[in-house]
Structure 1
């Protein structure tokens, strides 16, 4: 350090000989310019000296850092994570809402692009490679992609495989041939867009570990093709005596063709879901027939071990003739949805259900069965009460005008074991305010509101859902919720849709939840709000 640097004193603006001009619009003269330059000269020299020191120190810092950092990396926490823990972290990186895809920007492929060590761990962890979505048109465009898919699936050995296959116009033979070799490890298989012809490549697959299989067919089933009525008894749908119960989903058009006209026995079917795609496949579906009650009747008659049946159809063709009552001894869950409402379909469904004895039925979801206050509908409730005494979960639709009477009949006939009740309210009128129901909005829940500890109309009910919308005063549902808490009923969830605008003051829903009752209230608008143009 020089003697000049030692004598140097840090300047202060207050001591500047030009302090009076600083921060102003002062214009110095030529003499003053020379004086300012002379005044700044030692300070600029000191600044240059300091900047040189900083540059030298910065170089030293960089050299030290470049020496320290690689040594620190040797003792970093990620390096010391045991491989088995790292594998668990990798597993948590996998997608949860869908199968993994062959994309280098997503796990598990992304995990192999970090470093060679992580790549070795990822490629040696079979659990990371057990799921895969396979777009046939993508993987069959090159041999390299087919090889990559095969290597992916081989890495998962010996764990079960969870696969989804999307077929379009591409020939799926190569992919399905590979699956046939891996069939002993198949646990879940979803195939979409496959034709009935190409399904033959998959039909004879023996997969003893397959727990769930879903086939969404493109096009309609042809009843004149001999293999169509035997499709549901293909080996891929068959459960072996030592295998898990198999959940089967079939989607397509003209589902009636799947059921033989002659008597048959499908003892292997335990969980079945049928989806009628007649309306979802556009104009080409014109002329296709929806699922008929005859087919459902034959299905229930000839599947002695059926535990659950879920049907989604546009509407139901009626029974061709009067049928005898049948017993389905093992059925525990029945769901039938109709996407197009028709009074005839509702009557057909009610009649079909009156032909069934379901002694083990626990869940009955009929979100398309519209109960009326007269006729066959309440006979259906009486039938369910007599022949399905174990019913705990009931879901159906009721017109707003007969909501109270429907609720009263359910309470009278079905309440002993009922744990969940879901009612969807619908209107057949364009103007909701026309209903007498809405002119007395405060008494809708009055008949089922407990007023003493021993007066609970639904003593075992844990969940009550009223969807679609009722015009009901806040005081009515608040009173119902408060009464259930006050008298200690079993109700734990109360969900309600109310016609009208939400109030500005939020009701104390959190207070109900803290006391043990989950209350969910949704306000549904009555339609278009009035505008200034309505007054013209």
Structure 2
């Protein structure tokens, strides 16, 4: 629109008194037209609102009718049932949580709820954890909460029909609350005839209620794990659990101190796996030999050996032809001598995996056992409980079939006589370990980077190298950049994971928490609160700030040092 004041528009020009009437006359028509436009816009908005309302009605109509022919609605219940079952966790029992199947499935719609409740396979696995209660909860509140938990567990299991049951229970350790845990156990007992896999962690007082179950009451039970709560006093007597002699129990696990393992009413001759673990006094070497002699079909075994006074074993050598995996954990100042006794009295021609954990004095070695295990594929042990000569003897006795070796230290009760060094590493050669695929060494400060580099090059220089992974944690700073010198091998697929521990953990930049009591805690919390990555991902990332990466590496080192990584 033309205006005689066009040149003055948008400037700081102030109209003269005689120009004011002229300017006002210029605004009459535009103001009138703007009112007309506002009226038209209001009418258009009304039309748009009407169209939007009509569109919403049509959308609802279409959506509701499309739902009738939606693929998920047309899936036959039999197929939908299989989908529901596939939603369950594969490696563990289901938990009583609305955020996970099967309970989550029942929160989608009434149809799914009805269908899920009618599928027994969805409810035949259950993990029960004691309810969360504050320290200020009264006894009445505790009983009510446990009663609710027990009722929920009962409803869950009643939906399982006649399916075999897998149940795990983690109860309160305190004997004073045994009656509360007993309330849940009492709910499980009527379903004993369908028990197939049972794991119970509770105090001895709570376990007492299971003494009412006989071997005839558990015809389907094949796996049984009982863990005695550590709070129970050593003098407390185990209840007489007659159902331990169930006719089909093939996998038996016992955690916690027990005075006389061989006296348990277990059908030892039918066991295929056995685990007896404890953090305190457990199985003597004599009791271990007695139990093993009763288990001719054993395929996997874990034992915690504890001898206060070392006693030599006598008698013939015991052969277990079916044993494939053996873990021996020695505890106490004389326990390693007890393990030595087992090494010299066992013949395991089919053994594939051997783990030897030790706390205490030096031992004479596992060479006798290795000599009777020509098929061994995996070996794990901590060298710091051996002397150097004995450990070299163990390495010389390694079968040529060994594919995986893991050495870890830092577990001795006193300073180790020796640790893994360059001489020991030099014993692992392509001729002594022609099948070696993985080498893991944890907590090492005596192996040099140069020796490790020479080991890698030697193992990869043969015509058909088998080495795939080298994983070493050094308790010292880096000496040589090994990755740089073997880049061609890394490009070809070899994995070399090296972690170094440094005395200097200070992150880049000044910390606002410096010299405060909670400096490390506050700084770590501030950094980790903004890190949406796992520790392993962070330590391998190159596009993150150096402080994040260093923190991740430090965390990984600490986890590995305490056996968590």
Q: In structure 2, how many angstroms separate the alpha carbons of the residues matched to 1:17 and 1:339?
A: 104
**Matched ranges for 1:195-214 at <5 A:** 195=204, 196-202=207-213, 204=215, 206-214=217-225
Shift of 1:191: 0.9
Q: In structure 1, how many angstroms separate the alpha carbons of the residues matched to 2:488 and 2:158?
A: 54
- Of residues 368, 378, 397, the one that matches 1:413 is 397
Cα displacement string for residues 123-158 of structure 1 (whole angstroms, at most 9, x for unaligned residues) = 222222222223466897487765543332232224
Tell me the TM-score normalized by structure 2.
0.70
CA contact 1:415–1:459 (8 Å) conserved in 2: no
Match of 2:202, SS state, is strand
CA contact 2:102–2:122 (8 Å) conserved in 1: yes
Q: In structure 2, how many angstroms separate the alpha carbons of the residues matched to 1:323 and 1:412?
A: 26
* 1:462 corresponds to: 437
Shift of 1:422: 1.8
Q: Cα 1:360–1:140, aligned 2, differ >3 Å: closer, same or farther?
A: farther
* 1:8 corresponds to: none
* 2:199 corresponds to: 190
Match of 1:323, SS state, is coil
Match of 2:498, SS state, is strand
Q: Cα 1:42–1:123, aligned 2, differ >3 Å: closer, same or farther?
A: same
* 2:473 corresponds to: 497
Match of 1:256, SS state, is coil
Match of 1:334, SS state, is strand
- Of residues 77, 100, 107, the one that matches 1:106 is 100
* 1:283 corresponds to: none
Cα displacement string for residues 353-402 of structure 1 (whole angstroms, at most 9, x for unaligned residues) = 22333344332210227896xxx624x41x12443344332221113996
* 2:355 corresponds to: 365
Greater shift, 123-132 or 523-532, is seen at: 523-532
Q: In structure 1, how many angstroms separate the alpha carbons of the residues matched to 2:407 and 2:146?
A: 53
Q: In structure 2, how many angstroms separate the alpha carbons of the residues matched to 1:266 and 1:80?
A: 52
CA contact 1:248–1:271 (8 Å) conserved in 2: yes
Q: In structure 2, how many angstroms separate the alpha carbons of the residues matched to 1:143 and 1:437?
A: 55
* 1:266 corresponds to: 268
Cα displacement string for residues 389-446 of structure 1 (whole angstroms, at most 9, x for unaligned residues) = 443322211139966x5664334222333232222244989999x98987xx6x7644
Shift of 1:521: 1.8
* 2:123 corresponds to: 129
* 1:256 corresponds to: 259
Cα displacement string for residues 54-99 of structure 1 (whole angstroms, at most 9, x for unaligned residues) = 3322322332332233233333343234434433443344345643
Cα displacement string for residues 184-238 of structure 1 (whole angstroms, at most 9, x for unaligned residues) = 432221111142423314464643433322111235587895x76x75xx33453
Q: Cα 1:102–1:322, aligned 2, differ >3 Å: closer, same or farther?
A: closer
- Of residues 293, 308, 315, the one that matches 1:301 is 293
Q: Cα 1:178–1:47, aligned 2, differ >3 Å: closer, same or farther?
A: same
* 1:384 corresponds to: 369
Q: Cα 1:448–1:16, aligned 2, differ >3 Å: closer, same or farther?
A: farther
CA contact 1:350–1:369 (8 Å) conserved in 2: no
**Matched ranges for 1:94-493 at <5 A:** 94-96=88-90, 98-135=92-129, 141=145, 146-168=150-172, 169=177, 170-172=179-181, 175-195=184-204, 196-202=207-213, 204=215, 206-218=217-229, 219-220=231-232, 231=241, 234-240=242-248, 246-253=250-257, 255-260=258-263, 266-278=268-280, 289-312=281-304, 315-320=306-311, 322-330=313-321, 331-338=323-330, 342=333, 344-368=334-358, 377-378=364-365, 380-381=366-367, 383-399=368-384, 408-426=392-410, 445-450=425-430, 456-487=431-462, 488-493=464-469
In structure 2, list runs of 5 or more residues that go unmatched: 132-141, 515-565
Q: Cα 1:321–1:398, aligned 2, differ >3 Å: closer, same or farther?
A: closer
Q: Cα 1:143–1:37, aligned 2, differ >3 Å: closer, same or farther?
A: farther
CA contact 2:370–2:397 (8 Å) conserved in 1: yes
Tell me the TM-score normalized by structure 1.
0.73
The number of residues matched between the two structures is: 481
CA contact 1:346–1:370 (8 Å) conserved in 2: yes
* 2:497 corresponds to: 521
Q: In structure 1, how many angstroms separate the alpha carbons of the residues matched to 2:465 and 2:337?
A: 35
Please tell me the root mean square deviation across aligned C-alpha atoms, in Å. 4.4
CA contact 2:384–2:419 (8 Å) conserved in 1: no
